[in-house]
Chains A and B, each alone.
Chain A
Amino acid sequence: MEGMEKIHLLMVDDEVKFLQTITERLKLKFFDITSATNGKEAIAAAEKGRFDVAVIDLQMPGIDGVQVLEILKKNHKYLEVLILSGHATIETAVTCTKLGAFKVLEKPCDFDKLVEAIKEAYETRLKKKFEHDEIRIKQIQALALGQSPLGILKELAKMDEAEK
């Protein structure tokens, strides 16, 4: 991954030692990482930064992983979320998948598998974003035909509003 654009990763886990160690390891794999030890911090970090992928633990004090997943997916359209938990059951996996989780991994997880899953999630994000941009470019091209500059701007504002 050296030489490539770094993947911006948000790691969320209340097990501080686990979070520190895995963050160090992922840094060596050239990820750009921000870590959070609870749901509240994670949501605040996601508001401030631009992340490609988030890796979230399920059981945390306060706002739990399922709630964090729901909020992040609602507020950050292209953010892909991986769940990494020692508490994952079939039921929680189904819930998380329905809420838009990219994958649910069980802790302890093989590090290479985690890295692979993060890369897959990143590629999915890029693909979704590319497809969205492509549609948008086509919409803009269609708008440009026969519209005044002011009309184009108004239509673009409407499109932006619809995407919120």
Chain B
Amino acid sequence: MNDALNDMNAESLKFFGKVNASISHELKNILAIISETAGFLNDLTELAKQGKELKLSLLENCSNSIAEEIQRGFTTIKQMNRFSHSVDVAVMDVDLLDILDLMIGLTGFLSFAGKVRIEDKDQKFETITTCPFLLQNLLYRILCFAYECAGPEGEIRLRLSPEKDKGILLRFINSGQMPVEKFPDEKIKQTADLLGVEFKKNNSFYELNMLIPYTCDKIKDVEKNQ
């Protein structure tokens, strides 16, 4: 268990670094757009000083673009904040939809990310007692796998349903095939094992099902070792 935890800690650090790098890339993109739009406004002002006609629609587009990018920046920073605080407490009660929503947002910064849609988003589920950081790690990896299978134009639908006294069944329905021989890899298997997550067999190459338990004994070990 300790070896597994040490491996997991190293992997967790890598995951934390990877996500932070993708956030910084997103922020750089946002700043680049704001910077170029402000520069473009300067260019237009210079041209106007030289007597060239200044189109008001261009000014409007520029200011709208800056406002939109600032909003995108706020959203990104909020996601970064939520992610950073997920390591504050080792084990806690979490809302699976919340975590999924954050992971969809964070994986969305990756260049190969496709579309993801949570079906019946308004459903209410019991909270699950788990290690939020490890669960994020697991869902992030699975989403990455699903994006690669879906391809740039593909779509992934997520369906959640409660399993009485057991947990929440999460189904990834992919527009692309998910080869069984590639899933789950060792890292996914190890994380899933620590979280008590069980992968359910099904007959479709387009679907991946997992049961996330409401609670599990192994999680208590994680809490003790933190």
User: Given A15-B33, A21-B40, do A28 and B47 touch, yes or no (CB 8 Å)?
Assistant: yes
Is B121 in contact with chain A by the CB < 8 A criterion? Answer: no
Which secondary structure dominates where chain A touches chain B? loop
Interchain CB contact (< 8 A) of B65 among A17, A87, A107: A17
A59 within 8 A of B: yes
Instruction: Among A24, A28, A60, A64, find the residue whose CB has the most chain B CB atoms closer than 10 A.
Output: A24
A59 to B43, CA, bound (A): 29
A111 located at the interface, meaning its Cβ lies under 8 Å from any Cβ of chain B in the complex = yes
Q: Please, which residues of chain A bring their CB within 8 A of the CB of B9?
A: none
Knowing A25-B40, A107-B29, say if A17 contacts B35 (CB, 8 Å). no
Chain A residues with CB under 8 A of B152: 38, 61-62
A70 within 8 A of B: no
B111 touches A64 (CB 8 A): yes
Q: Per-position contact with A for B91-114: 1 when CB-CB < 8 Å, else 0? A: 000000000000000000001100
Chain B residues, CB < 8 A from A59: 25, 111
By a CB distance below 8 angstroms, the chain B residues around A15 are 29, 32-33
- Docked Cα-Cα span, A59 to B28, in Å, equals 13
Per-residue 0/1 for B34-64: is the Cβ within 8 Å of any A Cβ (1 yes, 0 no)?
Answer: 0111011001000100000000000000000
What separation, in Å, do the CA atoms of A6 and B73 have in the docked complex?
A: 36
The residues in B between 163 and 188 inclusive whose CB is less than 8 angstroms from any CB of A are: none
Q: Are B65 and A21 in contact (CB under 8 A)?
A: yes
> Do residues B25 and A87 form an inter-chain contact, with CB atoms below 8 A?
yes
Q: Which A residue sits closest to B24, measured CB to CB?
A: A86
Size bin of chain A's contact surface: 20 to 34
Are B111's CB and A107's CB within 8 A?
Answer: no
Q: Do the beta carbons of A17 and B111 come within 8 Å of each other?
A: no
Contact between B39 and A25 (Cβ–Cβ < 8 Å)? yes
* Contact across chains for A18 and B25 when beta carbons are under 8 A apart: no
Q: Does B222 contact A (CB under 8 A)?
A: no
Enumerate 13 A-B pairs (CB-CB under 8 Å) in ascending A order: A15-B33, A18-B29, A21-B36, A21-B40, A24-B40, A28-B47, A59-B111, A61-B112, A62-B152, A107-B29, A107-B32, A108-B28, A108-B35
Asked if B111 and A14 sit within 8 Å, CB to CB, the answer is yes
Q: Which residues of B contact A22 (CB under 8 A)?
A: 36
Q: Is B118 an interface residue (CB 8 A)?
A: no
The verdict on A17 contacting B33 (CB below 8 Å), with A60-B111, A62-B152, A64-B111 known, is yes
Q: How far, in angstroms, from A64 to B110 measured CA to CA in the complex?
A: 12
| In the complex, residue of chain B having the shortest beta-carbon distance to the beta carbon of A40 | B152
Q: Smallest CB-CB separation from B47: which chain A residue?
A: A28
Could you say which of B32, B43, B47, B111 contacts A108, with CB atoms under 8 Å apart? B32
Contacting A107 at CB < 8 Å: which of B28, B43, B47?
B28
Per CB-CB distance, the 3 closest pairs between chain A and chain B, nearest first, are A86-B28, A108-B32, A59-B111
In the bound complex, CA of A18 to CA of B72 (Å) = 14
**Contact residues of B between 3 and 30, Cβ < 8 Å to A:** 24-25, 28-29
Which residue of B33, B36, B65 contacts A111 across the interface (Cβ within 8 Å)?
B36
Q: A21-B36, A111-B36 are in contact. List 17 more A-B contacts (CB 8 A).
A: A14-B111, A15-B29, A15-B33, A17-B65, A18-B29, A18-B36, A21-B65, A22-B36, A25-B40, A28-B47, A60-B111, A61-B111, A62-B152, A86-B25, A86-B29, A108-B36, A109-B32
When chains A and B are docked, how far (Å) is the Cα of A64 from the Cα of B111?
Answer: 9
